[in-house]
């Protein structure tokens, strides 16, 4: 994937001293643990003579399908927190060789009622040596809500906007300053204490993206309660499972929400969940309900006297100050249940101190955040992204963030860019699936808006294929643009070819970014998560758990702990050890496959349980999906494995076409050929299933469990589809099964 241009290389060598030639005598000498990042002290191999078609500099030219490298501009790099590979290497080297000192220096910038003791961290990641244990800053007494709000107000940021809130309907909006947010949080915290919520108690939160959602998270944190946010799209059954598992003192919800033109009756879902959980022996005495008048009036809301309480009737009566409950760094902060399709959900438990330090630090560096930025992450707080990079990470940095209640394509596909222009958003963080869905519509929905404020784009949730990456600059073509031009959409169109893309890899379990570009530090390769964040020892191992050197593919693991790591699965430490640490003793196993190229760049290939074994060839579904999406008439693809009497497993591809392109047998053959050309004949899909849309949660996650059932014609085993953004997509896919 490497190639290059004398013009661009010479330009960079002359004008950007961040890029060191390979014979640089000042090159950092590295020890063993740096062997796969030390290449960043030089240009990527072959990049000494980068030919014009194969490298671009941000802001100077467009990225195309042939580009291998996208360089930060000199202007961007000079102002970045990490401005060169050399600076990254120096910081990374210290973070690995002296993690206690590195993270202590960062932790010291936060408020601690009492400093942590020694050692700074302790760990055992090897099941052969006893129970798995990770601790950071044990003995340190702090409070994350205090660090998010009080310290910012005390620093003079009380009048700064903490949140812009954009409602579902055009023209409906609100703001909260840091002082106002603190007052709202204190009122709710006082109420929770008044109804008996104590330090360590759980509170289940089933709210849409109203400002009351982060308010509730922060109020729980202020009094040491453990919040468990459940995405307000899960079914009553799924919600009940989570209530039964963590046994909350209070459930907080709202009566209804409008998402696009649809009204979702959240209180009805909660009522059904509370009935179901009580039948399992877990009763909840208080259901605090916010009246969302824009969606439903209180008189239309079903009500149970004695249990149900209107938020607006009680919370405003409480004082706007509330004493902080100081907690140990290792006290629990929140539970977040992973959305497993079957069996008991996994309650990922994060603690306070290490998570606070890690979420804040990753936010600052991966987005190159500065105090003048306006930040918008499109994720819901029901997912880890909404915890780390909607609520805690931004507020810990004193940032101004946008919260959006509605659907990204309501009332039309230009809504995202309308919001960007309205609030002058500079950092835009979203999922590749949203990018791909918006790409299907006319460019006029993008180009009618300026988007000139955008500075950094971010990607989360799945491996972003190179075509979608290049679309990350969403803005240079008109409505008559060719399909090929549309394939350059996110980079060239949205970001005007000037915005670096932080294509981040991380997980609910990791708490924050693990492998991510630092936007001003090094050239990016579209589709690669690039290099590990500070303190993260990412390794690739084979089936036997042996680390693989150099250019390779295998299982992505992490050696040694980091502050943001989760500490256990709630109530099931044995499952925690079995799932994450037994597969490869001595390592945290991510469950993901990964390739590392000759320059040390990391390429995520998807979940290893999304690996298809075709006649002995292990094929990552993400790899096949990326090849399909490279076809100019394919907007999106999802691949699953099916039983095959000859090959063991066959490849079954659901393909969404660019708007207006008709289904045809010729196109089907062309798509298969695209995979054969990019990967090989062994990876060619056995079946192309036309898909007007894919079954996705409202956060954009593709529900591959449902696709597997459709592909296998196990239509009576589809399970719960209530979490889908568009449940009718399932019926459409079934109807097209034989087309």
**Nearest 5°: phi and psi at 519?**
-55, -30
Query: What distance in Å separates the CA atoms of residue 343 and residue 320, rounded to the nearest whole number?
Result: 42
Residue 205 near residue 219, CB atoms below 8 Å: no
- Catalytic, 609? Answer yes
Q: Which helix (H) or strand (E) holds 11?
A: helix 6-15
The counts of H helices and E strands in the chain are 24, 32
Active-site choice (159, 609, 610, 716): 609
The alpha-helical segments, DSSP class H, found in 72-177 are 74-79, 85-97, 99-107, 144-145, 151-152
- Between CA 474 and CA 497 the distance in angstroms is 8
Residue whose C-alpha is closest to residue 661's, from 621, 701, 691: 691
Of the candidates 539, 561, 165, 500, the residue with the CA atom closest to the CA atom of residue 365: 500
**In the block, residue with structure tokens 């670096």:** 500
Q: Please say whether the beta carbons of 641 and 647 come within 8 A.
A: no
Omega before residue 119 within 30° of 0, cis: yes
206 φ/ψ angles, rounded to the nearest 5 degrees: -125, 75
**Cβ neighbourhood burial of 44 (10 Å; 0-12, 13-18, 19+):** buried
Please, is 512 exposed, middle or buried when counting C-beta atoms within 10 Å of its C-beta (0-12, 13-18, 19+)? Answer: buried
Place of tokens 């696009």: 260
Query: Hey, which residues does 202 pair with through a beta bridge?
Result: 226
- The 3-state DSSP class for residue 231 equals coil
| Residues taking part in catalysis | 609
């Amino acid at each position: 994937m490497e190639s290059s241009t004398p013009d661009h290389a010479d330009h960079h060598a002359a004008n950007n001293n961040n890029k060191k030639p390979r014979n640089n005598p000042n090159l950092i000498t590295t020890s063993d643990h740096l062997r796969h990042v030390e290449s960043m002290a030089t240009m990527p191999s072959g990049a000494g003579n980068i030919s014009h078609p194969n490298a671009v500099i941000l802001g100077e030219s467009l990225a195309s399908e042939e580009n291998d490298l996208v360089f930060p501009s000199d202007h961007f790099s000079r102002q970045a927190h990490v401005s060169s590979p050399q600076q990254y290497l120096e910081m990374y080297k210290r973070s690995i060789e002296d993690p206690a000192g590195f993270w202590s220096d960062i932790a010291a910038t936060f408020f601690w009622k009492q400093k942590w003791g020694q050692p700074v961290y302790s760990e055992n990641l090897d099941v052969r040596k006893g129970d798995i244990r990770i601790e950071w800053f044990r003995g340190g007494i702090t409070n994350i809500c205090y660090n998010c709000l009080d310290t910012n107000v005390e620093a003079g940021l009380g009048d700064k906007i903490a949140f812009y809130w954009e409602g579902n309907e055009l023209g409906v909006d609100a703001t909260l300053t840091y002082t106002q947010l603190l007052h709202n949080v204190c009122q709710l915290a006082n109420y929770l204490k008044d109804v008996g919520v104590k330090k360590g108690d759980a509170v289940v939160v089933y709210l849409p993206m109203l400002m009351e959602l982060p308010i509730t998270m922060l109020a729980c944190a202020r009094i040491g309660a453990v919040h468990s946010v459940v995405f307000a799209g899960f079914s009553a059954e799924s919600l009940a499972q989570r209530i039964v598992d963590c046994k909350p003192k209070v459930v907080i919800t709202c009566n209804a929400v409008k998402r696009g033109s649809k009204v979702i009756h959240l209180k009805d879902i909660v009522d059904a969940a509370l009935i179901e959980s009580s039948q399992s022996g877990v009763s909840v005495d208080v259901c605090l309900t916010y009246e969302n008048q824009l969606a439903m009036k209180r008189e239309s809301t079903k009500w149970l006297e004695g249990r149900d309480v209107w938020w607006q009737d009680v919370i405003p009566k409480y004082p706007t100050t509330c004493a902080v409950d100081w907690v140990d760094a290792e006290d629990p902060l929140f539970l977040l249940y992973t959305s497993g399709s079957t069996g008991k959900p996994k309650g990922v438990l994060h603690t306070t101190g290490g998570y606070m330090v890690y979420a804040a630090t990753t936010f600052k560096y991966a987005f190159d955040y500065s105090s003048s930025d306006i930040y918008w992450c499109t994720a819901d707080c029901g997912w880890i992204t909404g915890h780390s990079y909607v609520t805690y990470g931004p507020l810990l940095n004193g940032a101004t963030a946008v919260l959006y209640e509605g659907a990204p394509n309501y009332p039309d596909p230009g809504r995202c860019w309308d919001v960007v222009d309205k609030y002058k958003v500079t950092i835009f963080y979203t999922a590749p699936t949203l990018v791909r869905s918006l790409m299907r519509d006319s460019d006029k929905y993008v180009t009618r808006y300026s988007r000139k404020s955008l500075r950094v784009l971010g990607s989360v949730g799945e491996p972003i294929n190179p075509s979608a990456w290049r679309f990350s600059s969403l803005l240079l073509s008109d409505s008559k643009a060719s399909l090929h031009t549309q394939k350059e959409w996110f980079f060239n169109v949205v970001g005007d070819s000037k915005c670096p893309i932080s294509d981040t890899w991380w997980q609910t379990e990791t708490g924050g970014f693990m492998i991510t570009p630092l936007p001003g530090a090094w050239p990016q390769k579209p589709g690669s998560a690039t290099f590990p964040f500070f303190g993260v020892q990412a390794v690739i191992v084979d089936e036997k758990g042996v680390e693989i050197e150099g250019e390779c593919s295998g299982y992505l693991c992490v050696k040694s702990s980091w502050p943001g790591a989760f500490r256990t699965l709630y109530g099931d430490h044995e499952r925690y050890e079995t799932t994450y640490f037994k597969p490869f003793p001595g390592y945290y196993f991510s469950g993901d496959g990964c390739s590392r190229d000759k320059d040390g760049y990391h390429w995520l290939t998807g979940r290893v349980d999304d690996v298809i074994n075709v006649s002995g060839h292990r094929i990552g579904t993400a790899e096949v999906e990326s090849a399909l999406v490279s076809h100019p008439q394919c907007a999106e693809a999802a691949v699953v494995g099916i039983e095959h009497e000859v090959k063991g497993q066959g490849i079954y591809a659901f393909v969404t076409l660019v708007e207006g392109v008709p289904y045809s047998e010729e196109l089907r053959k062309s798509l298969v050929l695209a995979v054969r050309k990019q990967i090989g004949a062994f990876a060619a899909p056995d079946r192309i299933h036309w898909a007007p849309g894919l079954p996705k949660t409202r956060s954009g996650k593709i529900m591959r469990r449902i696709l597997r059932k459709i592909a296998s014609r196990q239509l009576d085993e589809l399970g719960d589809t209530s979490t889908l953004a568009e449940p009718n997509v399932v019926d459409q896919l079934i109807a097209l099964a034989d087309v």
